[in-house]
Amino acid sequence: MEAPIHLNTAGAGLPADVVSRSMCHYLQQEAQRGAYETELAHAEILEHGVYQSIAQLIGAQASDIALFDSATRAWHGLLRLCRFGPADRVWVTPYEYAGNLIALINWQRQYGFQLEVIPLDPHGDIDLAWMRRHLDDAVALISVVHVPSGCGTVSPLHEIATLVAGRRCWFVVDACQSVGQIPIDIRSLGCDVLTAAGRKFLRGPRGTAFAYLSPRFRAAVPPDFCDLHVAQVQGLHGYRVAPHSARIYELAERNMAAVVGLHAAVQYHLGRDTRNAEAVFAQLMQGLAKVPDTRLIAPGTRQQGIISFQHRKRPAGEIVDRLRARGFNSWVMTGHHTPILMEALGVDTAVRLSVHYYNSSEQIEQLLRVIPEVLA
């Protein structure tokens, strides 16, 4: 059976062969040698290599990296440790992910802070002028999604970083849909927390994620529990923690085969030239814009990797099914996953297409030839 053309990297990328092979090899070793013994044999990767490779990917230090089993768990698990007061203001953008909003709504009820939405300018970009006028020391947290899951709008992280430099607020970036397709350099970005998934544009296994935690964040927001991979109990009255790195926010038990797979994915990505993805995405955008009776969901001046569209007659689910039957993977984008933006745009569902460097111009040509037939 011929493999489908995969246009759903925003959901999960196609794992590189080296990722699958490394995980299968690890699991085979566990079955033959024992789980603890296999972990010991791979200690260099599990204890050092994976952190070093992720640090190299985003321009950080290995000591700033913590591993998690999902980006949502990383985002929620880290930010729930922050303490807010009723005088605080917490900012999000209209591109905020629904899972993050659920947590913020719960914390708002607990702490009584003001939850505010940064407006967009007429182009659909985050209104930097509004931020400049309203930013003060009452703002305790600014949460920015780099690229939302429902459209490819790219948020201006560096401009926001310049605005918040020296302020008391935490600058937190959800980079789930950008890591692996947009270069990130923590040294110039200056955020306090960045979370990302392994399974999307990094092409790693499901159940993997990581977070960058700045030294400033770690000094001010300690974990409420340290597991035994970093902590040693000293009697009934204390315990000692070492090393003092971002790993203190992890749990000791984890899927070691998945961690090995994540390491393989990052190493593979570091050796790839991904520049062709931009041209392929531009070809997709331009082609879809010419299709009659379609509406592109594409606010903002810069788009990358993800585009959603609606058709005047056919519902999104039916279009996705028809594309799948013709050998194309796409997905139904549900508006409530990016609720602030999509409610304002009146979008309930749309067809989401997402491309990566493994997609070719020829594949996009095939898709654009099929689209009129699917929509007929």
Please work out, in degrees rounded to the nearest 5, the angle formed at the alpha carbon of residue 324 by the alpha carbons of 203 and 361. 60
C-alpha distance from residue 59 to each of 63, 64, 204, 270, 328 (Å): 12, 10, 19, 12, 35
Write the pLDDT tens digit of every residue in 247-291: 999 999 999 999 999 999 999 999 888 889 999 999 999 999 999
Domains within the chain, CATH numbers bracketed: 5-14+274-375 (3.90.1150.10), 17-271 (3.40.640.10)
Determine contact, residues 192/214, Cβ cutoff 8 Å: yes
What pLDDT is stored for residue 2 in this prediction?
Answer: 84
DSSP label of 209: E
C-alpha distance from residue 208 to each of 2, 15, 254, 257, 293 (Å): 28, 12, 10, 10, 39
Q: Which residue has the tokens 């992720």?
A: 54
| Ranges of H-type helices in 153-298 | 157-164, 186-189, 215-220, 256-270, 276-289
What pLDDT is stored for residue 10 in this prediction?
Answer: 98
pLDDT at residue 224 is higher than 90: yes
What pLDDT is stored for residue 148 in this prediction?
Answer: 97
What pLDDT is stored for residue 274 in this prediction?
Answer: 86
Q: How far is CA 179 from the centre of its chain?
A: 7
Amino acid letter, 316:
A
What pLDDT is stored for residue 273 in this prediction?
Answer: 87
Q: Which residue has the tokens 């010419």?
A: 290
What pLDDT is stored for residue 239 in this prediction?
Answer: 93
Q: Which residue has the tokens 């990052």?
A: 266
**Mean pLDDT rounded to a whole number for the chain:** 96
What DSSP assignment string belongs to 32-61?
HH-HHHHHHHTHHIIIIIHHHHHHHHHT--
| Averaged pLDDT, 332-338 | 96
What DSSP assignment string belongs to 69-95?
S-HHHHHHHHHTT----TT-EEEE-TT
DSSP label of 274: -
C-alpha distance from residue 169 to each of 131, 211, 223, 263, 345 (Å): 13, 18, 19, 32, 30
- Cα(350)–Cα(367) distance, integer angstroms: 17
What pLDDT is stored for residue 243 in this prediction?
Answer: 77
- Cα(115)–Cα(127) distance, integer angstroms: 17
pLDDT at residue 316 is higher than 90: yes
- Cα(297)–Cα(307) distance, integer angstroms: 7
| Averaged pLDDT, 335-356 | 97
Write the pLDDT tens digit of every residue in 158-191: 999 999 999 999 999 999 999 999 999 999 999 9
SS3 call for 303: strand
Element (H, E) at 212: strand 209-213
- Cα(274)–Cα(257) distance, integer angstroms: 26
Q: How far is CA 66 from the centre of its chain?
A: 15
Name the nearest CA neighbour of 307 among 327, 335, 288.
Answer: 288
Please work out, in degrees rounded to the nearest 5, the angle formed at the alpha carbon of residue 170 by the alpha carbons of 345 and 242. 130
Q: Which residue has the tokens 């995405």?
A: 281
- Rounded to two decimals, the pTM is 0.96
Please work out, in degrees rounded to the nearest 5, the angle formed at the alpha carbon of residue 145 by the alpha carbons of 161 and 171. 35
SS3 call for 221: coil
